Homo-oligomer: A and B are copies of this chain.
């Protein structure tokens, strides 16, 4: 097949040419005296994306899953109770990981298509007078259902409950794409992945940790902590202080991150978030024009990085995805777990513009149409175009 594939899964996302070029470098000694000139500004600029001034940022050579692990093992102790709101595949997996690491996970099941419930969390924390709950775990953007939780409201709930629980946030498919304010929202540990809004290949995760969480981790460490080594924040801190790493980092990823941060900061983070909202709005207009619905149980849950589209009950989303891939060179995201066959997902995060998304929407239309779903060709495109045209500035 000729031409470029239209990659519209919610990660890995398209890596911009500038970033790919920046990664095409000869190796160098990661202990050389010039190396900190590369590393230290990366750690500083990451803070801008997390919007933290008082926290520390970390770069691990690992997938986002490793970021989850790094956050938990370095801060908490075996058996610690954590409160997790679960409403999709990735919140589910995060809970499993925490369990494997020896934590006790109390789960709030929320309806798939909704997100974390701040009131419920506040209530539970208020009831927890013994402060048994050490951390609240919130998935900012549930990639599986295309839903964004109100992290700020959860933070406010914790604060309102006057509970010392730390707030851990999975921002893998949000940070760098959706507004995120670590300090002002009171987030203690935030995890981002390279292959989403950072527009890099997978293979690096970025973790930001508040002073409170670091102090908590030091305290845990005095007694006992979850056994760990690779994901040690302490070893990282010690080495990072001088601009080095405890083990060999991926040189290309560091150079790629440099360029990715350049891109984000050149565009301006508010503009980045605005662009994602603009594209997502167009995508949702297309869904509406098709006469279909997203997974979100109410509009305000809809994510600006991924749209999960429910196909008619007599249709098979798996076939649509497979046909889109084979016939139109369009990669759509599958429905996961209980959504398998019922949903396909259009990721619209990272290095994207309107015409790329319109190409994907037109491909989704043809794929659905070919699979017998009653869709008027061009209808979604027209709706998205009308949405896009309202903006006079280029994205």
A107-115, A180-188, A375-383: which lies at the interface:
A375-383
Min C-beta distance of A254 to chain B, whole Å: 10
* The residue from B30, B193, B358 contacting A359, defined by CB atoms under 8 A apart: B358
Q: B381 touching A326 by the CB < 8 A rule?
A: no
Interface string of A250-288 (1 = CB under 8 A from B): 111100000000010001000000010000000000000
Q: A100 touching B28 by the CB < 8 A rule?
A: no
Give CA–CA (A61, B67) in the complex, Å: 12
Given A101-B228, A329-B353: A362 touches B365 (CB 8 Å cut-off): no
Which chain A residues (61-91) contact chain B, with CB distance < 8 Å? 61-66, 68-69, 78
Given A63-B61, A63-B247: A382 touches B377 (CB 8 Å cut-off): yes
Min C-beta distance of A71 to chain B, whole Å: 12
A393 and chain B: residue at smallest CB distance: B327
Number of copies of this kind of chain in the complex? 4
Q: Which residues of B contact A379 (CB under 8 A)?
A: 378, 382
* The residue from B1, B247, B365, B389 contacting A65, defined by CB atoms under 8 A apart: B247
Q: A31 touching B334 by the CB < 8 A rule?
A: yes
Q: Which residues of B contact A100 (CB under 8 A)?
A: 227-229, 232
Contacts A201-B251, A329-B353 aside, 20 further interface pairs with beta carbons under 8 A come to: A3-B14, A3-B352, A3-B355, A7-B27, A12-B251, A14-B27, A21-B21, A23-B23, A29-B333, A33-B322, A33-B325, A61-B62, A63-B250, A66-B230, A78-B227, A96-B229, A100-B232, A202-B249, A328-B354, A378-B382
Binding site for B on A (CB under 8 A): 1-7, 9, 11-17, 20-33, 61-66, 68-69, 78, 96-97, 100-102, 193, 195, 201-203, 226-232, 246-253, 263, 267, 275, 322, 325-331, 333-334, 351-356, 358-360, 362-363, 365-366, 369-370, 376-379, 381-383, 385-386, 388-389, 392-395
CB-defined A-B contacts under 8 Å, sample of 24 = A2-B16, A2-B263, A2-B267, A3-B353, A3-B355, A6-B355, A7-B26, A7-B29, A20-B25, A23-B24, A65-B229, A65-B246, A69-B229, A78-B227, A203-B249, A230-B230, A328-B353, A329-B355, A355-B359, A377-B382, A377-B385, A378-B382, A378-B383, A381-B382
